[in-house]
Every structure is written in C-alpha cells, then in structure tokens.
C-alpha cells in the first residue's frame, strides 16, 4: 500500500534539512573514497560518484537544482539525483551506511563548521569590549547591587566583566566542539556492518580525530546538539544581560549611554522617542534559544534505544539556534562599537548615595577597629547624613569624630570617588592600574 500523501508531506524534512546539502555531499565523497580503497566499489565507480556529487554541489550552489517536498530528505534527494545522473553506480554509494549514521555525520559536520564561525564572532565581540575598555579607562560610574548604588567602579571594569562572561562561553564552546568532532559513519543502522569498511580512513578524510565506539549510541546520540544549544543559551543569556544594562542606561532616568541611531528606532506615534529595539530584540531572542534547549531535551528524554524518527525534530531547533546566536553576535558587536557614554553623568551618579561608605569603614579597619564595629560606625554616620540632608563631602572632620575618635584628617581622602576607585588594588579590583593590568593580560593571550 502506497504511503498516504498527507503522511508523506508530514514526514518530509527536505524543506529544512536541505541546508545540510554541502555536508551531506562532503561525507558522501569521503565514504566513496573509503569504499573504493576497500574494494567495495571500483575506482571507475568511485570517479563517477565523486564527479556526480561535485556536479550536484555546483548546481545546488548556483540555484540550478531545487528540491521538491516529495524528495523526503536531503540524503534521499541527493542520492536520487546522483543515480539519475550516473546510473547504477549511484546506488552503490549507500553501501555500508544507513541514513541513521549518515544524518548524524551531516549534523556533526554542519555543527563543527558553525561552531568555528561562532567562535570567530565571540572573538570579535570580546575584542570590541577590550577596545571600549581601553577607550573608557578613566570613566567612573556607579556600581550596583540589587539595582541600588553600591560603590564607584570604572566603566572599563564593567566592560571587562562581560569580557569574562563571554570568555567562559568561548571556553565552553571549544570544549563542546571536542564532542562534536567524533565520526559516527560506519555505525550503519544501529549494529555496524558485515562489510570490510575502514572507519579510521573515513575519519582521516573528514578530519575527525575520533571514531564513535558504540554503533547504537552513534546513531541515537544527540548529546552534542543539546550541549551546543545549552552553550548557545549561556551565550544568549550574557548578551541579554549586556543589552539589559544598555536598555536601562539609555533611558532618561539613567542617561549613561547613547545608542547610535543605526541601532534604534522611532515610535510610530511619539516623534520624540528613540527606542533601543535592537538591544530589546536580542534580549527577547534569548527566550527563543532557551525554548529550543527545552524542546530538544524533551524530545530526547523518552526515547528507547536506538534511532527513532523523533530525532528528525532536532534540526529546526539547532538551525534556528545557530542563526539566532550568529545574528545577535554580529549585530551587538557592531552596535557596541558606536556606543557613546555620558562621562559627566556617570561620574555625578557615582558620587551619590554615600557610595564611599565602605571605604570609610575600611579606613577605620586600618586604624585598628574590627570591621563589624567600623561598619556600624559608618552606618550611623550615613543615617546622620540622611537626617541632616548632608553628603559625606559636606560634613566636617568634627562631625566625623562625633561617631569615632579614630577619624583623622586623612579620612577625608576616602570621600573622593576617584580615590575610592583607585584604592581597589586587590587582584581583580577596579583600580585603574589593575584594569590596565587585566587588559594587558588579555591582549597578551594567544587567543585574544
């Protein structure tokens, strides 16, 4: 009984997996070379197969060959076209392989290439953060906890905090790539093959440093896809946090940054508006990637060993994740290069809210007082300032001494936000010399 037409359309994946055409052909060429070396096909057949595959590749690239829904999937479509072009030799290409190990190979080849591209985009974004940090090395801003003013810091220090986040993403992605870089071809449907294939030769032709050790795992494993999407979700989370800060800072209430007109839009009704739409979209697309991760984990959680057709549903989440992360990284890198920070406003806000209170407490510690006692003294001093509507800078040394005899004239040095920032010389601190040291360390790394 022929397949129901609606069922045929329902199960077809050619409309989305055709983007794997290059990787499918790359894998097939290597497979044909191995088959010929093992005398499973003749050299004449190998030549015909490789020539036919290369001509199909060229026609797809040039738009001369298009696929129809009836082609089912990219693997069958290419094999059918190959057989049409070169005859029976085309049917020999599928010797010692199944679509199960073939699709896993295609996914790994695709993801390996895309991972390398994303690593390049991460490097570009990290470079833009370092350049901004160098440009803003003397810009002081308020640091926040709980979205409340906490202590003054350098804007460069804030920028390098995001550099560290993205650098961890870079490391995670490089580590993830190692588990992508395993050859599944040769596992066949699930049990391997009786035919005398040479999987190590195929691995060498495709630059895979490792070969899968269990044929059942090889065809059913999508851990590498889930791990990639998890890593992508982490990247997006960090981009979203960066965008959230820019969105807040570009508001009138903050006024810390101006985002270039090239990356904002106006309102359809309010002519005065300048909306940070690009940053908002990146923040919004983060949820999209999270959704893909949950979708894939849900697909995988109940699958019996080994291959199941459910695994066809891994591709659209993966493809959209790749496209989303690449698009967001490219756009945010470009946007970050055109940010204009309001140095005066940031400095003014950094001085507000008794932001040097901790510096005064540490001053008292240096005078020999226990930190808890120092904390209480400065806390009472802050309460006094709130009652009297005075900042630290507006208080006299006599007023300070009312709260502790340990205060001396040099205590007034703690009140400057510049002194407060540059006193933070602990490793990883916000002092200018520490930030410059960190920049030098980053620029001295071989991976940038």
pLDDT (tens digit per residue) in 382-399: 999 999 999 998 999 999
Angle at the Cα of 44 from the Cα atoms of 188 and 57, rounded to 5 degrees = 65
The residue from 15, 42, 251, 267 that is catalytic is 267
Q: Do 93 and 56 touch, CB atoms closer than 8 A?
A: no
Q: What is the pLDDT, as a whole number, of residue 448? A: 58
Sole residue written with tokens 């101006």: 258
SS3 at position 206: coil
What is the pLDDT averaged over residues 338-359?
A: 96
Catalytic-residue membership of 146: yes
Q: What is the pLDDT of residues 272-293, one digit of tens each?
A: 778 999 999 999 999 999 999 9
Angle at the Cα of 104 from the Cα atoms of 234 and 169, rounded to 5 degrees = 15
Of the two residues 4 and 356, the one the predictor is more confident about is 356
> What is the DSSP secondary structure assignment for residue 140, as one 8-state letter?
E
Judged against a pLDDT cut of 90, whether residue 28 lies above it is answered with: yes
Query: Regarding the domain delimited by 5-95, which CATH topology (the fold level of the hierarchy) does it fall under?
Result: Fumarase C; Chain B, domain 1 (1.10.275)
Q: What is the pLDDT, as a whole number, of residue 265? A: 86
Judged against a pLDDT cut of 70, whether residue 159 lies above it is answered with: yes
Judged against a pLDDT cut of 70, whether residue 155 lies above it is answered with: yes
Q: What is the pLDDT, as a whole number, of residue 267? A: 72
What is the pLDDT averaged over residues 13-21?
A: 94
Judged against a pLDDT cut of 70, whether residue 446 lies above it is answered with: yes
Residue boundaries of the structural domains of the chain? 5-95, 100-134+142-197+209-347, 352-443
Catalytic-residue membership of 215: no
Q: Do 314 and 299 touch, CB atoms closer than 8 A?
A: yes
Q: How many CB atoms are closer than 10 A to CB 93? A: 25
CATH class held by domain 100-134+142-197+209-347: mainly alpha
pLDDT band for position 69 (cuts 50, 70, 90): confident
> What is the CATH code of the structural domain delimited by 352-443?
1.10.40.30
Could you tell me the sign of the dihedral formed by the alpha carbons of 75, 76, 78, 82, in that order?
Answer: positive
Of the two residues 268 and 98, the one the predictor is more confident about is 98
What is the pLDDT averaged over residues 7-31?
A: 93
The residue from 146, 426, 427, 446 that is catalytic is 146
pLDDT band for position 79 (cuts 50, 70, 90): very high
Judged against a pLDDT cut of 70, whether residue 127 lies above it is answered with: yes
Judged against a pLDDT cut of 90, whether residue 407 lies above it is answered with: yes
pLDDT band for position 203 (cuts 50, 70, 90): very high
Q: Report residue 225 CA to chain centroid gap.
A: 14
Strands annotated E in 81-162: 140-145, 148-154
Judged against a pLDDT cut of 70, whether residue 91 lies above it is answered with: yes
């Amino acid at each position: 009984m022929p397949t129901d037409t609606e069922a045929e359309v329902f199960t077809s994946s050619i409309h989305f997996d055709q983007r794997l055409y290059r990787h499918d052909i790359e894998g097939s060429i290597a497979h044909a070379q191995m088959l010929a070396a093992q005398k499973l096909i003749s050299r004449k057949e190998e030549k015909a197969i490789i020539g036919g595959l290369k001509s199909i590749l060229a026609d797809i690239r040039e738009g001369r060959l298009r696929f129809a829904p009836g082609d089912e999937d990219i693997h069958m479509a290419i094999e059918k076209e190959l057989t049409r072009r070169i005859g029976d030799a085309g049917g020999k290409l599928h010797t010692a392989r199944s679509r199960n190990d073939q699709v896993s190979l295609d996914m790994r080849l695709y993801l390996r290439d895309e991972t390398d591209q994303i690593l390049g985009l991460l490097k570009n974004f990290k470079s833009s953060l370092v350049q901004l940090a160098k440009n803003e090395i003397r810009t002081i801003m308020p640091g926040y906890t709980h979205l409340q003013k906490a202590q003054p810091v350098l804007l460069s220090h804030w920028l390098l905090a995001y550099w560290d986040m993205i650098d961890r993403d870079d490391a995670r992605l490089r580590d993830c790539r190692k588990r992508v870089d395993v050859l599944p071809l040769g596992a066949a449907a699930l049990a391997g093959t009786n035919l005398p294939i040479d999987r190590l030769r195929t691995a060498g032709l495709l630059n895979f440093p490792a070969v899968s050790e269990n044929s059942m795992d090889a065809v059913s494993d999508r851990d590498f896809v889930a791990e990639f999407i998890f890593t992508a979700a982490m990247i997006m989370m960090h981009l979203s946090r960066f965008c959230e800060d820019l969105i807040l800072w570009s508001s009138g209430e903050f006024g810390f940054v101006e985002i270039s007109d090239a990356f904002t839009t106006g309102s359809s009704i309010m002519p005065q508006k300048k909306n940070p739409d690009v940053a908002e979209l990146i923040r919004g697309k983060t949820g999209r990637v999270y959704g893909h991760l949950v979708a894939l984990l849900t697909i995988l959680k109940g699958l019996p060993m080994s291959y199941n057709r459910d695994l066809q549903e891994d591709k659209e989440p993966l493809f959209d994740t790749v496209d989303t992360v690449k698009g967001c990284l490219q756009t945010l890198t470009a946007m970050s290069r055109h940010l204009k920070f309001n140095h005066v406003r940031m400095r003014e806000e950094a001085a507000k809210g008794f932001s040097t209170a901790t510096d005064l407490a540490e001053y008292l510690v240096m005078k020999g007082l226990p930190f808890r006692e120092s904390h209480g003294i400065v806390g009472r001093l802050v309460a006094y300032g709130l009652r009297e509507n005075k900042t630290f800078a507006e208080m006299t040394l006599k007023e300070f001494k009312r709260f502790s005899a340990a205060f001396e004239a040099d205590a007034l040095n703690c009140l400057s936000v510049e002194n407060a920032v540059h006193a933070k010389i602990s490793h990883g601190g916000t002092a200018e010399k520490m930030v410059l040291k960190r920049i030098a360390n980053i620029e001295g790394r071989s991976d940038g």
